[in-house]
Amino acid sequence: MPIWNNYGMGRRHFMQHMATAAATLPAMNFLSHLQANAATVKANNKACILLWMSGGPPTIDIWDLKPGSKNGGEFSPIDTAAPSVQISEHMPETAKVFKDLSIVRSMSTREADHGRGRYFMHTGYVPNPTVTHPTFGSVVSYEVGRSRSALEIPSFVSVGGGSGQAGFLGMSHAPFVVGSDGQINNAPTEEGKKRLPGRLEMLAAVESNFIKSKRGELPEAHKDVYKNAVNLMTSRQMTAFDVDKADPSFGLEAESEETKALYNPAPGGGGAMGMRGGNGFGQSLLMARRLVQTGVPFVEVNLGGWDLHQDVFNTLSQQRLPVLDRGISGLVTDLKQRGMLDDTVIVWMGEFGRTPRINQNTGRDHWAASWSNMIGGGGLANGQAVGATDADGVRVADNSKAYLPGDIWATVAHAMKIPLNTVHTSKRGRPMKLANGGTPIKELLG
Amino acid sequence: MSTLPQWIKRMTGATLGISVFFAGVAICSSAHGGDASELSTIEFIDANIQQGYEDNEIKPSEVASDEEWVRRVYLDTAGRIPTLEETKQYLSDESPRKKTVLIGELLDSQDYVRNFTTIWTNNCIGRRTPRRVSRNGMEKFFREAFAKNRPWNDIVVDIVTGEGHFEENGAVNYTLAQMQMPDDAVQLTAMTTKMFLGMQVQCTQCHNHPFNNWQQSQFWEFNSFFRQVRKIDHRKVDPVTGRRVDDFSEVVTRDFSGPVFFEKRSGLMQVAFPIYMGKKVDPNAFDRRKEFGKLLVAADSGETPLIGKAFVNRMWGQYFGYGFTRPVDDMGPHNPASHPEVLDRLAADFVKSDYDVKQLISWIANSDAYSLTSQFGEDNAVDNPSAGEMPLFSHMYIKTMQAEQLYDSLISATNAHKSGKGGWEAQESQRRRWMQQFVAAFDTDENDEATTFNGTIPQALMMMNSELIEKAVNTERGSFLFETFAKPGKDSEKLQELYLAALSRRPSRGEIGNAQKLFSAYGRNGKVYAYQDLFWALLNSNEFICVH
């Protein structure tokens, strides 16, 4: 599979006749520093893989079932490998690996609008018109990615998009968005690559004038992004995006059919979900593992289709949960086999949960007051359910602490050894605490 | 801190009750004494914004050069940079009224209609056309509206109350786009309030607003106006395949006269009836949306309807990069405006002008503030809204081009529109196809989407490597570069053409010298490639992608 995809365009060859001229062009000096350190990226780096459930998943039907309640719905709980933790019957494979996962059942987040919920869960901060808070992947890129000098591809990759912005941490920490097939649009042609050095030299001359003319940060940010884009265009680490390609220098092999099968429902279960078919969630997760292996410290993988205002039970049991179940269990199994699980923390969340009350369309609407997140790997004390909701799932149980996204991200920071007292500074000079000052969830710290 | 006085003034404004604000009563300023009302609209804007500079002890930037300004006004109004000829023509014009004249010409151009059709189609249905929505229908509606300069209140009422076939009455596509999920018209309620009234109430579907007095019950009172809306997705049999396929969709009004029920955070169920800003509507009204439409435009006792104020704020934001409130669609006492007097005066005059959209743009684009350069210095460095400060409009704020602006600008820069490949219509569909690479939908009832044309790597890759750029720097016979290069004349003259075409300005002497130095590395036979690479660099530059 080619990684590069020139979007909807037939190739044109108008440059071919220029090949001779290209030979006379200035040397590719900008590339030399890249090739110098293209060697190995250290293995067992700390990383986070965020499974983002776009639309707001009904956690009452997945992680916190309420059998016997009027809100209970159609599903039954099953036991998992972790004693005393039960999850949905439609998550059987995940149940088997639950010693390495945990549920936080007392999330109470208040934002039940998609845009606001997406922002709050990703940043730990409520939207504020005067400042753009960095999404947590950008925080990791800034705190961890910057020190990984051998990493040539972006240190925050978002498979599927919608991950938010880097805000005051700067454009070079913005998520690099790719499709679930790992294809990246607008590859350089061979001719284009040859012409690049001359063009970039011209560009540098043109750009510097505008930067010097004092018009704010945008002109400079533009230059930084181009630098990252050029790094990427010429990097061998791009192999990480293509599950069928190998590059031994990064420990990457072409993925076997067995490995691919780990991540995907068997044909017939959950529809025809081959590697290329279905929604690509399994392939995205496999790509995420390869990226982590290559040294990327934060990968976000988007799985949509959770805005289940109608027909929630059929959609879950026949479409969403088989894909999710296999994806999570495959990821955990694969990371564990490779000895990467203790260094890779897995987080599962969406904008909010869904109403315990079942609506007239057999659906569930938006609900942020009492719902679940899942977290695992990362060397945490897994195999448990932290916190609880009441018998009908409509509020956090009286004896239970309520958690915010900042607490989840503080737990991630702990697992990744990012100091919790890290403070960033907004453009206006305001100090911004890591994860909005959240506290790691103590039960998970072991 | 020098901005303190403004803040205090605004906080005082903020303590005025919500009922006062939402009743639409203008919060009048005494800043300019009794003669304020005698000033023309533009004089009033200029004086008031000038007062803001003085209050904050800053000095505005210089007036922008003709080169900077002509590029800006084309991008903001026509949605593209000026062509080489248009730039030259403006630069050689010596009339003192040439700004006003150009603004008028642009507002009467086809490109204005196209630009505003694009913007409002995107606002109403997004860039990625949702299922069972007709982009053509929506565009046709806006194209006619902006071409005829229909009053904004009529446009809004058509959109909010529209019924029927999605191509025969394109206005209904707004409603169809908000009805992607069976969510009891929650999204339609939230979007209508935000887009046309400039108020964000989406969070109040679940609880009272944390920062203003908007109640959860009000959300559902608004919502009850939209509960009669029904969409029908028609299917038909494809005569060739014999399969059933999608046909048209339509919006109809269903018989519904009951109250709306909603759940309080306490778990209690409550009822809500159709009430707009304290005005009750008979729940048995045959068509509640028609009643809603009447209330939207009602101007009892001289109030300025919110739809006027919301549109003015949005339009100002479109031209300056920042509106009077941030975001532009979240107005209210919890979020005081930077220049409440200007907002109120512009809104009042806009309504008095019978919601004349071109008149409003003309006031904005003819203002002193719009004429300033984007360069700033020590004297006004504090005027930095990107850091979260209130905008003082003492210099132009840099915006980055939208994807559509970039696409159309590349075509202008390279004369591609003259090459006879189809008209604007054909280019419209090409542009639409090209746009799709940047847009990802979230698949939620909010019909929201993310774009990767946001200054990050995918955009840079497109600018460096895409076929669109290859075409733009094409040197085949008939191309812009070929025509420029093949012309007799000196290098320095040709360089000037390249700069004018891409950046709407002439190169400085330093830039010419620099370019010639770089050219020497290409040798005699490589000169065409040198031109090509320079043009590539100009199109890839920060200066090109910025609206400044």
Tens-place pLDDT, residues A284-343: 999 999 999 999 999 999 999 999 999 999 999 999 999 999 999 999 999 999 999 999
B205 touches chain A (CB under 8 A): yes
Which of B198, B540, B194 lies closest to B401, judged by CA? B540
Nearest CA in chain B to A179: B440
- Total Cβ atoms within 10 A of residue A115: 18
The complex's ipTM works out to 0.85
- Total Cβ atoms within 10 A of residue B523: 13
Partner residue facing B529 (CB), from A9, A14, A21: A21
Q: What is the pLDDT of residue A104?
A: 98
In this predicted structure, the answer to whether residue A37 has a pLDDT above a threshold of 60 is no
Q: Do A309 and B548 touch (CB under 8 A)?
A: no
A73 touches chain B (CB under 8 A): no
Scan for tokens 């990968």, then name that residue.
Answer: A299
Residue A39 exposure: Cα atoms within 13 Å on the Cβ side? 4
CATH class of this structure's domain A42-186+238-445: alpha beta
Residues of B in contact with A111 (CB under 8 A): 203
What is the spatial distance between Cα A39 and Cα A35, in angstroms, rounded to a whole number? Answer: 8
Partner residue facing B546 (CB), from A174, A219, A225: A219
Residues of B in contact with A229 (CB under 8 A): 457, 460-461, 464
- Total Cβ atoms within 10 A of residue B431: 17
Partner residue facing B452 (CB), from A22, A161, A309: A161
Partner residue facing A309 (CB), from B183, B389, B545: B183
B393 touches chain A (CB under 8 A): no
Q: Do B398 and A216 touch (CB under 8 A)?
A: yes
State the smallest CA–CA distance between residue B382 and chain A in angstroms: 10
Nearest CA in chain A to B202: A113
Residues of B in contact with A175 (CB under 8 A): 456
Q: What is the DSSP letter of A256?
A: P
Q: Do A177 and B440 touch (CB under 8 A)?
A: yes
Name residues 208-227 of chain A within 8 A of B (Cβ).
209-211, 213-219, 221-223, 225-226
What is the spatial distance between Cα A89 and Cα B284, in angstroms, rounded to a whole number? Answer: 47
Q: Do A368 and B206 touch (CB under 8 A)?
A: yes
Q: Do A114 and B442 touch (CB under 8 A)?
A: yes
Residues of B in contact with A200 (CB under 8 A): 537
Name A403's bridge partners. A107
Q: Do A209 and B543 touch (CB under 8 A)?
A: yes
Q: Do A7 and B437 touch (CB under 8 A)?
A: yes
Burial of B430 (0-12, 13-18, 19+ CB in 10 A): middle
Partner residue facing A427 (CB), from B330, B387, B518: B387
Residues of B in contact with A160 (CB under 8 A): 440
What's phi and psi for B269, nearest 5 deg?
-90, 140
Residues in chain B where the model's pLDDT stays below 50: 1-34
In this predicted structure, the answer to whether residue A442 has a pLDDT above a threshold of 90 is yes
State the DSSP H helix or E strand holding residue A388, giving kind and residue range, or none if neither: none
Q: Do B374 and A215 touch (CB under 8 A)?
A: yes
- pLDDT confidence of A22, banded at 50, 70, 90? very low
Partner residue facing A218 (CB), from B182, B398, B457: B398
Pure H helices in B93-211: 98-107, 110-125, 135-147, 152-161, 172-177, 186-197
Q: What is the pLDDT of residue B229?
A: 94
Residue of B211, B444, B524, B539 to mutate when probing chain A, most A C-beta within 10 A: B444
What is the spatial distance between Cα B244 and Cα B237, in angstroms, rounded to a whole number? Answer: 4
Residue of A186, A191, A362 to mutate when probing chain B, most B C-beta within 10 A: A186
In this predicted structure, the answer to whether residue A283 has a pLDDT above a threshold of 70 is yes
Q: What residues have CB less than 8 Å from A256, skipping those under 6 apart?
A: none
* Higher per-residue pLDDT: A12 or A242: A242
A368 touches chain B (CB under 8 A): yes
State the DSSP H helix or E strand holding residue A298, giving kind and residue range, or none if neither: strand A298-303
Whole-number percent of chain A with pLDDT over 90: 73
Which of B186, B540, B295, B188 lies closest to A205, judged by CA? B540
Please work out, in degrees rounded to the nearest 5, the angle formed at the alpha carbon of residue A182 by the alpha carbons of A179 and A188. 100
Q: Give the Å distances, CA to CA, from A424 to A139, B321, B522.
A: 9, 26, 47
A114 touches chain B (CB under 8 A): yes
A188 touches chain B (CB under 8 A): yes
Q: What is the pLDDT of residue A57?
A: 98
Q: Do B470 and A154 touch (CB under 8 A)?
A: no
B26 touches chain A (CB under 8 A): no
Using an 8 Å Cβ cutoff, are A420 and A396 in contact? no
Nearest CA in chain B to A168: B387
Longest Cα separation, chain A: 78
Residues of B in contact with A159 (CB under 8 A): none
What is the spatial distance between Cα A389 and Cα B382, in angstroms, rounded to a whole number? Answer: 49
Q: What is the pLDDT of residue A352?
A: 97
Nearest CA in chain B to A171: B456
**Tens-place pLDDT, residues A396-441:** 999 999 999 999 999 999 999 999 999 999 888 889 999 999 999 9
Nearest CA in chain A to B206: A112
Amino acid at B546: C
Residues of B in contact with A192 (CB under 8 A): 464-465, 470
Whole-number percent of chain A with pLDDT over 70: 87
Amino acid at B518: L
Which of A51, A100, A83, A110 lies closest to A403, judged by CA? A110
Which of B298, B308, B413 lies closest to B357, judged by CA? B308
What is the spatial distance between Cα A19 and Cα A24, in angstroms, rounded to a whole number? Answer: 10
Q: What is the pLDDT of residue B443?
A: 79
Name residues 327-386 of chain B within 8 A of A (Cβ).
327, 330, 335, 374-377, 384, 386
Nearest CA in chain A to B331: A129
Which of A302, A287, A300 lies closest to A243, judged by CA? A287
Nearest CA in chain B to A303: B442
B12 touches chain A (CB under 8 A): no
Q: What is the pLDDT of residue B300?
A: 75
State the smallest CA–CA distance between residue B442 and chain A in angstroms: 7
In this predicted structure, the answer to whether residue A357 has a pLDDT above a threshold of 50 is yes
Q: Do A215 and B375 touch (CB under 8 A)?
A: yes
Partner residue facing B522 (CB), from A24, A207, A218: A24
Using an 8 Å Cβ cutoff, are B539 and A223 in contact? no
Per-residue b/e over A249-264, b at no fewer than 16 CB within 10 Å? ebebeebeeebbebbb
In this predicted structure, the answer to whether residue A353 has a pLDDT above a threshold of 70 is yes
State the average pLDDT over residues A356-366.
Answer: 93
B211 touches chain A (CB under 8 A): no
Residues of A in contact with B518 (CB under 8 A): 198, 201-202, 205
